[in-house]
């Protein structure tokens, strides 16, 4: 039995945490998961409801919510808090007879490294973010890249784009590295929804799902939506809410909707059952203006039988095959988004073929069972190597 401690500084229901939930609720022998969270919240509740062992070990809120790009005098006090927290975790990990540590965020990667060193346990970093500007300041990214060469015994990246951002040359890799895509996690084990084809002129629904934050580009969709106001049958749905201090951006979106009188836009906020919206939508759009580490919602849309339009940078390029399983467009260009939506509307037959090919691609490359198998096989390799 491999007792793996999963560490995360947040319990918010966001991308990396959702991916972790899907993995842990499907993992089986020989892995026994124990999750250590620095706060209580939705992730903790959902894991406990699923029968996963969860330990809430509070971390100072100033450290937990500290902006990853802040370089100031508080950095010193935060470092001491991290060390203290790492020591506490090390004692708890020994008591739990943990075999391996798996960190799920950049902050937990740091205090997890301290705990791993003090408890003499193998350390796996699971990287969900592109370690480069504009997501991180150059100096912060450089520091994480340097630490990545020396601290973890293994690195899991959520895409080849994310792994390559660490600049781990073949000659310098002292650890074991692997790409495990965040995968489709329908309970039945395979995509089963019907392919969506727009047939009725009553409504054509464009859906965007994601956290409300500027780099996700919801404002790009609003600009495109303004161009569709004369076409009353085309409507735009945005699902997602502001997290991690991003309320100002949400307010900006609301202001845009009001000022431009975008009566064709609905801002849903957080939606628990995104699949129900996908059932009603006709196309899924993904509008990130910076390279996306992966793009889990794109996989979900393809599995739901939706044609997909996504930004042509980062992880989406590993998911979508342009003109075969969807459309890839330049980021931050509302005109390109408008034209892509119009193409889907005007070409229902070809869009259906794309949707069918998209579902096949999900079945081939992005099923949760494959991701779980990869992870389970990865731990013994890291443990042996360490």
What is the rounded average pLDDT of the residues 233-245? 92
Residue 159 CA to residue 220 CA, distance in Å, equals 25
Supply φ then ψ for residue 222, to 5 degrees: -65, -40
**Residues 6+ away with beta carbon under 8 Å from 70:** none
Predicted local distance difference test score (pLDDT) of residue 339: 98
Binning pLDDT at 50, 70 and 90, where does residue 72 land?
low
**DSSP readout, 215-253?**
GG-HHHHHHHHHHTTT-TTEEEEEE----SS-HHHHHHH
- Structure confidence at residue 70 (pLDDT): 67
The predicted pLDDT at position 170 comes to 55
Report how far residue 239's alpha carbon sits from residue 250's, in angstroms, rounded to the nearest whole number. Answer: 12
Question: Residue 15: what pLDDT?
Answer: 87
Mean pLDDT of 51-59: 97
Give the pLDDT confidence of 181-226 residue by residue, as tens digits. Answer: 988 876 433 444 444 444 445 789 999 999 999 999 999 999 999 9
* pLDDT of res. 197: 47
Question: Over 70: is that where the pLDDT of 116 sits?
Answer: yes
Read off the pLDDT band of 77 (50, 70, 90). confident
What is the per-residue pLDDT for 171?
A: 46
Mean pLDDT of the chain: 92
Q: Residues 93-99: what's their mean pLDDT?
A: 97
Q: Is the pLDDT at 24 greater than 50, yes or no?
A: yes
pLDDT tens-digit series, residues 324-368: 999 999 999 999 999 999 999 999 999 999 999 999 999 999 999
- State the pLDDT confidence band at 74, using cuts at 50, 70 and 90: confident
Q: Which domains does the chain have, with CATH numbers?
A: 2-183+367-385 (3.40.50.2000), 204-365 (3.40.50.2000)
Task: Say what the pLDDT of residue 11 is.
Answer: 96
Q: What integer pLDDT is reported at residue 373 of this predicted model?
A: 95
Task: Provide the pLDDT for residue 195.
Answer: 45
DSSP character at residue 54: E
End-to-end CA distance of the chain: 18
């Amino acid at each position: 039995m491999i007792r793996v401690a999963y560490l995360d500084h947040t319990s918010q229901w966001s991308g990396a945490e959702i991916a972790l939930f899907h993995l842990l609720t499907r993992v089986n022998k020989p892995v026994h998961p124990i999750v250590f969270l620095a706060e209580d919240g939705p992730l903790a509740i959902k894991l406990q409801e699923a029968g996963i062992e969860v330990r809430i070990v509070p971390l100072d809120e100033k450290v937990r919510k500290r902006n990853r790009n802040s370089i100031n005098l508080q950095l010193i006090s935060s470092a001491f808090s991290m060390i203290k927290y790492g020591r506490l975790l090390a004692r708890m990990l020994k008591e739990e007879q943990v075999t391996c540590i798996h960190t799920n965020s950049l902050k937990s990667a740091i205090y997890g490294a301290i705990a791993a060193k003090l408890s003499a346990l193998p350390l796996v970093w699971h990287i969900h973010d592109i370690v480069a500007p504009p997501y991180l300041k150059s100096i912060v990214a450089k520091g994480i890249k340097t630490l990545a060469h020396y601290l973890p015994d293994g690195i899991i990246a959520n895409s080849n784009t994310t792994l390559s951002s660490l600049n781990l040359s073949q000659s310098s890799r002292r650890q074991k590295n692997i790409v495990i895509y965040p995968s489709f996690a329908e309970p039945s084990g395979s995509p089963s929804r019907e392919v969506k084809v727009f047939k009725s002129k009553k409504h054509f629904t464009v859906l965007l799902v994601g956290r409300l934050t500027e780099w996700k580009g919801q404002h790009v969709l609003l600009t495109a939506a303004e161009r569709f106001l004369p076409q009353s049958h085309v409507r735009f749905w945005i699902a997602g809410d502001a997290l991690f201090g991003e309320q100002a951006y949400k307010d900006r979106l609301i202001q845009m909707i009001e000022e431009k009188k975008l009566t064709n836009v609905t801002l849903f906020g957080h939606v628990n059952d995104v699949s129900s919206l996908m059932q009603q939508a006709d196309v899924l759009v993904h509008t990130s203006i910076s390279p996306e580490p992966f793009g889990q919602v794109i996989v979900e849309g393809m599995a739901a039988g939706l044609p997909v339009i996504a930004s042509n940078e980062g992880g989406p390029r590993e998911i979508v095959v342009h003109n075969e399983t969807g459309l890839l467009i330049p980021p931050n260009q509302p005109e390109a988004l408008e034209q892509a939506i119009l193409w889907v509307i005007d070409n229902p037959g070809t869009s259906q073929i794309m949707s069918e090919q998209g579902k096949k691609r999900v079945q081939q490359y992005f099923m949760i069972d494959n991701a779980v198998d990869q992870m389970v096989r990865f731990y013994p390799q890291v443990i042996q190597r360490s």
